[in-house]
Structure 1
Amino acid sequence: MLRGIGWLLAFIVIVVIAMAAGSLIPRPLFAPAEAGVGQGQTIYLLANPIHTDIAIPLTDAIRQRFADLEPFGIEINHPGAAYLVIGWGGRSFYLETPTWSELKPAPVFKALTIDASVLHVDLAGSRLQNHPAATRIDVSEAGFERMLRYIETSFVRNSGQPVGIAGAGYNDTDAFFEATGSFNALLGCNTWTASALREAGVRTGLWNPLPQSLALSVDLYN
């Protein structure tokens, strides 16, 4: 028993050190010639205790670019919609756990092992700018375009169109879509968000499995 406790404590220490290093070591290690923050486009990093999303301003160009989401219930031209909110995650956990009260063992097990992935898309109004969980990030036009391409390539497509998941959603404004890549807890939703931000020119931590470590690294290096 003592040996088992020792191994458990050693594992916890290793995870803590890895997460600290993942937050404090920047990626890329040296700042690129094109700074990630600056004039161009404003996006928002949205965070809750376990998950992050990216909010993109709904300009006319963005409404046109993501018009293929409309057939799945994303009313991208709704006059009250100011932001397109996109996040990536594990299929089982995302679809089957809309609230913590509905948490079940099977989705947790899949999240800790390997699961298929989905993209969650929602709309938000202008009040999002003042939400305490929203962090404003200004990126260059070139970085903004790279991030959009990264997001677009995360959708599984059939004949060029995104593949929606029928009957999946939390409210009247959102939808789920099949996504590329496999999900697990070590390389999950927050590492996808970090990758999208790096495409925009934003430096993140080396490894950010939690929203708190991602937010810390974004604050430290941008």
Structure 2
Amino acid sequence: MMTTIRWLLRAALLFVCAVTIGVFVPRPFFKTDSANAAADKQLEILVLSGAIHTDIAVPINDEVRKSFSFLVKEGFPLADPNARWLVLGWGGRSFYLETPTWADLRPMPVLRAFTLDRSVMHVEIAGDISDKIPGVTPVAIDGREFQHLLDFVSDSFVKQSSAVLPIPDAAYGQSDRFFEAKGYFNALFGCNTWAAGALRAAGLRTGLWNPLPQTLQLSLALYN
């Protein structure tokens, strides 16, 4: 019993050390923005941080409609006149599809999240989102960085002959859809590390490793 407790304590200490290093070692290590770059950052995206998951919301403009026109072809309501934001997330197939709320939590999706699972993209349209809500972090980027972000997200979808692959009958409501995604999900390299990669594609700096929304938020505040 004591051996098991010592092993668990060592594992917890190792995880804490890894997370600390992941936050306080920036990626990329050196800042590359020019001194006057801030004046060009006219576009605002939102980092949406939940208890265990991070989404990225982009304003629906002409660039977004063009970059994600493949969603419209699959019946996604991107042209809804009330839509202001496109909310994008990547995650584990079992946990995402089978756990829409904490009340739906079951052992098997959790087990798959901590081992290895196929991944999916979740897309949703939203109306106005206040940046005063806890967990909503506005980030300013320029047009070139914005397009890099859109390209990163677009490339996360599995495509066949330029068409994405919707998951049949998979949605939380009328305004969202699930699609097949590239890569495999693991809790240590999951939705939050994907979001960090997307933000780095947009020219932002994150921590070296951000497995939790809280560590990603902290690293964004430290380095941008």
Same fold (TM over 0.5): yes
| 1:155 aligned residue | 157
Match of 1:22? 22
**Pairing 1:13–2:13 present:** yes
Alignment of 1:31-50 (within 5 A): 31-33=31-33, 39-50=41-52
Residue number in structure 2 paired with 1:185: 187
> Aligned AA for 2:154?
E
Say if 1:89 and 1:188, in contact at 8 Å, map to a contact too. yes
- Correspondence 1:76 to 2:78: yes
Q: Which residue of 2 aligns with 1:87?
A: 89
Tell me which amino acid in the other structure corresponds to 1:102.
Answer: D
Cα drift, residue 10 of structure 1:
0.7
| Alpha-carbon contact 1:73-1:174 (below 8 Å) kept | no
Distance 2:63 2:151 in 1: 14
Structure 2: unaligned runs, 5 residues or longer: none
Give 5+ residue unaligned stretches, structure 1: none
- Percentage of identical aligned residues: 48
Which residue among 165, 168, 174 is the counterpart of 2:167? 165
- Report the Cα distance in structure 1 between the residues aligned to 2:174 and 2:131, rounded to whole angstroms: 21
SS in 1 for 2:215: helix
Report whether the alignment pairs 1:213 with 2:199: no
Cα distance, 1:34 vs structure 2:
5.1
CA distance in 1 between partners of 2:14 and 2:129 (Å): 40
Contact 1:117–1:178 (Cα < 8 Å) also in 2? yes
Question: Could you tell which deviates more after superposition, 121-130 or 101-110?
Answer: 121-130
Write the distance in 1 (CA, Å) between the matches of 2:73 and 2:107: 33
Instruction: After TM superposition, give the deviation of residue 183 of structure 1 in Å.
Output: 0.5
SS in 2 for 1:110: helix
Deviation (angstroms), 1:66: 1.3
* Structure 2 letter corresponding to 1:92: S
1: distance between equivalents of 2:118 and 2:17? 28
Q: Which amino acid aligns with 1:23?
A: V
- For 2:84, give the aligned amino acid: A
Corresponding residue number in structure 2 for 1:56: 58
Partner residue, 2:2:
2
Instruction: Give, in whole Å, the separation in 2 of the partners of 1:204 and 1:216.
Output: 9
Q: Is the 8 A contact 1:74 1:123 kept in 2?
A: no
Deviation at 1:158, TM superposition (A): 1.3
1:73·1:175 contact (CA, 8 Å) conserved in 2? Answer: no
1:34, 1:201 within 8 Å by CA — same for their partners in 2? no
SS in 2 for 1:127: coil
C-alpha root-mean-square deviation of aligned residues, in Å?
1.5
Once the two structures are TM-superposed, the CA of residue 6 in structure 1 deviates from its matched residue by 0.9
* 1:211 partner letter: P
